[in-house]
């Protein structure tokens, strides 16, 4: 018996039909203090299927999907799709990127790492530059400004004489119009190091949904624009990042930070101040992997043919972390990622269980890469089918249905064919449309997801399947910001409600329906159910005993 052989459950032999896990990305259950809260798209939408299941499913639970429940440092740290799918697929909670990086900085381990020392040594010659590219905010989902500030200060202490920041505007994991505040904070730190002889400045930037941070090969044009902006200094020039942001907002009324056009900072003679040249060092300081892989490949891959890179500088490049543990991208990184192994799918293939994973492009990596512990390959191609539905390249608020109906059709067909014992599907709408901050689009997105949930429920009934409905974190449930102290809706300087584009701290639903669902009850030994408890639950429903270090299942047989 090898380490992956699972014992059969002595009490329950497993559901007789397929087991389907449906992840409604970004659909939380807001339980805040704002009386008469007017911007909960989940509640405002016409969702007869979800409403009925929440009231009548044989097992109905609410799961923690943020903070320590998914490996984030504190209770005020929102969850996200990456850590959520890690926790669901791994059956345990691992310290995630934000905490790992913060600990490595606090202990000094980052600055003693081989990669850090190599990059500092690379720019010891006169005129060489240390470049830092990444998301400038304290959203703590992809990056944190604290990490960047610590790196800038340490570089100056280590004798680096020239630093350039290529700052991506957030407005997605934080309030939508706040980039200028983060730039002001960063400029204060840059002023500190300039005072000790380090030439440090912001060299370029733009909105995270406009340049650089594409994922899952959805829109390489974003990466190309980022490359041209950061590397070549090609683009509209301004004398400072502050001037750029003020001008671009004035010229694009209503634009939020994530959609800001790219900009380049020029000197008074009109020359870009921070092109990336041979002999420089470059760090992408995001810790989260999905939106860091493509720009990393642009710097490191000899075979990349997604766009014409033109002049490709010879640099030493590192990621804040290793962004793909299977493909080893990038080869050099500052902080080791969590070592997530023995995920539920790895156990299942070793025990002969056929599986299907499907989603549209925007979330395909979440039901594959993140689900498998940050590994992009299948454990057994003979037993696993992965079906990606290509996402459209269009602003999500313009097409809130996205590809939900097409993804739904994949699930219906798969259930009818009956080749897969376990199926998992992610509907991206709640998260991707929620991030736009457009309430009307969010409501429509939720209604389309509910329509698909109804179609899948009928397919589950036709095929004698069992279905779990859950989510990875909240988003749609709060489309306006609420002050955590007063419980009232936040207002901006003009007295208008502040649009919320980030995730929430809400719990998420967990519903068990279909064949055999009535045979189970909530597990009384699980006091604080969270996403990490789902994997052991899947194994129980499939007739296996979970590994001893997995978190316990959410349910137990009712008999």
Cβ within 8 Å of residue 383, ≥6 positions away: 348, 349, 352, 353, 354, 355
Tell whether the model's pLDDT for residue 55 goes beyond 90: yes
Instruction: Give the tokens for residue 138.
Output: 């304290």
**CA dist 479 → 83, 488, 497 (Å):** 22, 13, 10
Determine the distance from the C-alpha atom of residue 468 to the mean position of all C-alpha atoms in its chain, rounded to a whole number.
Answer: 22
pLDDT in tens, 157-193: 999 999 999 999 999 999 999 999 999 999 999 999 9
The pLDDT of residue 32 is 62
The pLDDT of residue 95 is 86
pLDDT in tens, 263-287: 999 999 999 999 999 999 999 999 9
Taking the C-alpha atoms of residue 535 and residue 406, their distance in angstroms, rounded to an integer, is 27
The percent helix, strand, coil of the chain (3-state, each to 5) is: 35, 20, 45
Local confidence band at 28 (pLDDT 50, 70, 90 cut-offs) = very high
The pLDDT of residue 33 is 56
Mean pLDDT of the region 303-326: 92
Q: Which 3 state secondary structure label does DSSP give 22? A: strand
- Does the domain formed by 19-57+65-95+339-505+526-538 have CATH 3.40.720.10? yes
Cβ within 8 Å of residue 32, ≥6 positions away: 478, 482, 487
Instruction: Give the tokens for residue 279.
Output: 């002999």
The pLDDT of residue 35 is 62
Neighbours of 406 (CB within 10 A): 15
Local confidence band at 44 (pLDDT 50, 70, 90 cut-offs) = very high
C-beta separation of 36 from 482 below 8 A: no
Residue intervals of the chain classified under CATH 3.40.720.10 are 19-57+65-95+339-505+526-538
**CA dist 448 → 204, 395, 492 (Å):** 39, 17, 31
Report the predicted TM-score, pTM, of the whole model to 2 decimal places.
0.81
Mean of all residue pLDDT scores within the chain: 95
C-beta separation of 500 from 52 below 8 A: no
Q: What percent of the chain is modeled with pLDDT above 70?
A: 99
Taking the C-alpha atoms of residue 200 and residue 198, their distance in angstroms, rounded to an integer, is 6
The pLDDT of residue 36 is 76
Q: What percent of the chain is modeled with pLDDT above 90?
A: 87
Lowest mean pLDDT among 27-31, 144-148, 248-252, 285-289: 27-31
Local confidence band at 229 (pLDDT 50, 70, 90 cut-offs) = very high
Backbone angles phi, psi at 73, to 5 degrees: -65, -45
The pLDDT of residue 337 is 81
pLDDT in tens, 477-534: 999 988 878 888 888 878 899 899 888 999 999 999 999 999 999 999 999 999 999 9
Name the CATH superfamily, with its identifier, for domain 98-335: BPG-independent phosphoglycerate mutase, domain B (3.40.1450.10)
Taking the C-alpha atoms of residue 25 and residue 435, their distance in angstroms, rounded to an integer, is 12
- The residues assigned a catalytic role are 81
Tell whether the model's pLDDT for residue 34 goes beyond 60: no
The pLDDT of residue 195 is 97
The pLDDT of residue 559 is 74
Complete DSSP assignment for 199-263: EEEEEEEEETTTSS---TTS-HHHHHHHHHHHTS--S-EESSHHHHHHHHHHHSTT--GGGPPPE
Taking the C-alpha atoms of residue 147 and residue 110, their distance in angstroms, rounded to an integer, is 11
pLDDT in tens, 366-402: 999 999 998 889 999 999 999 999 999 999 999 999 9
């Amino acid at each position: 018996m090898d380490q992956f052989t699972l014992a059969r459950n002595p009490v329950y032999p497993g559901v007789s039909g397929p087991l389907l896990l449906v992840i409604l990305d970004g659909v939380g259950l807001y339980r805040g203090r704002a009386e008469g809260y007017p911007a909960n798209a989940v509640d405002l939408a016409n969702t007869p299927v979800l409403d009925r299941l929440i009231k009548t499913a044989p097992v109905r639970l609410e799961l923690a999907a943020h903070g320590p429940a998914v490996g984030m440092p504190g209770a005020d740290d929102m969850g996200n799709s990456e850590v959520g799918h890690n926790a669901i697929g791994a059956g345990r909670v691992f310290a995630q990127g934000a905490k790992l990086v913060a600990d490595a900085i606090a202990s000094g381990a980052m600055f003693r790492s081989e990669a850090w020392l190599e990059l500092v040594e690379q720019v010891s010659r006169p005129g060489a530059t240390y470049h830092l590219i990444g998301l400038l905010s304290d959203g703590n989902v992809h990056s944190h400004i604290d990490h960047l500030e610590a790196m800038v200060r340490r570089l100056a202490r280590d004798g680096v004489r020239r630093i350039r920041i290529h700052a991506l505007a957030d407005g997605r994991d934080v309030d939508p119009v706040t980039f200028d505040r983060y730039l002001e904070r960063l400029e204060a730190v840059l002023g500190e190091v300039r005072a000790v002889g380090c030439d440090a400045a912001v060299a370029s930037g733009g909105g995270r949904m406009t340049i650089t941070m594409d994922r899952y090969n959805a829109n390489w044009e974003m990466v190309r624009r980022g490359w041209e902006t950061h590397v070549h200094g090609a683009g509209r020039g301004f004398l400072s990042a502050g001037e750029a942001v003020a001008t671009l907002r004035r010229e694009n009324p209503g634009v939020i930070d994530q959609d800001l056009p790219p900009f380049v900072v020029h000197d008074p003679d009109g020359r870009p101040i921070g092109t990336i040249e041979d002999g420089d060092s470059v760090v992408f300081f995001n810790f989260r992997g999905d939106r860091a892989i493509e720009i990393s490949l642009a710097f490191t891959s000899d075979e990349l043919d997604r766009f014409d890179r033109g002049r490709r500088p010879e640099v030493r490049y590192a990621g804040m972390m290793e962004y793909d543990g299977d493909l080893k991208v990038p080869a050099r990184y500052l902080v080791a990622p969590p070592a997530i192994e023995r995920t539920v799918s790895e156990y299942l293939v070793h025990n002969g269980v056929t599986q299907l994973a499907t989603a549209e492009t925007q979330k395909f990596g979440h039901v594959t890469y993140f689900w498998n512990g940050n590994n992009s390959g299948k454990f057994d191609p003979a037993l696993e089918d992965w079906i990606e539905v290509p996402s459209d390249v269009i602003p999500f608020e313009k097409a809130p249905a996205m590809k939900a109906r097409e993804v739904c059709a994949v699930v219906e067909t798969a259930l009818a064919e009956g080749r897969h014992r376990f199926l998992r599907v992610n509907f991206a709408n709640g998260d991707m449309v929620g991030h736009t901050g457009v309430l009307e689009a969010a409501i429509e997105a939720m209604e389309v997801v509910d329509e698909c949930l109804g179609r899948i429920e009928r397919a589950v009934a036709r095929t004698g399947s069992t279905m779990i409905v859950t989510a990875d974190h909240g988003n749609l449930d709060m489309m306006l910001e609420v002050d955590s102290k007063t419980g009232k809706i936040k207002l901006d300087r003009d007295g208008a409600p502040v649009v919320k584009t980030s995730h929430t701290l809400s719990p998420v639903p967990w519903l068990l329906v279909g064949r055999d669902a009535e045979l189970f009850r909530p597990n009384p030994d699980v006091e604080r159910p969270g996403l990490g408890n789902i994997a052991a639950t899947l194994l129980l429903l499939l007739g296996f005993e979970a590994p001893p270090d997995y978190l316990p299942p959410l349910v137990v047989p009712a008999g």
